[in-house]
Structure 1
């Protein structure tokens, strides 16, 4: 009983802290973007696409790395 109360309190605190931090981070970036509207929309879209592509490649690389490491160490990857 006590463990679940502590868990609820810590999870609630964590959500509040991260939520507040994300709100202010988004607000700061939005306000900064309003000041610097000189940037071309195509440049922003291109940069966003590059970030998404790098993220997907990193995700694929990490998945393949994990797969090969588990195969080399003999871990079973079958589902029950």
Structure 2
């Protein structure tokens, strides 16, 4: 019974050590690969941010239109909607 924790802890350390080695290697290789692509990606990133901004502006505008339409529809049948 005394050998079970020793074997399991050793196995766990080997598995985690191997996983950490490959994780660090993968990140290092990815950084090395991306260092050459950074200039091309900046323009793509700007275009993506611009598109996201346009979508966000359209969403906010549509929410404002929806809120205005809701206020008009609530007031039409005679429901009283006053703000304190």
TM-score after normalising by structure 1? 0.49
Tell me which structure has the larger Cα radius of gyration: 2
TM-score, reference length from structure 2: 0.47
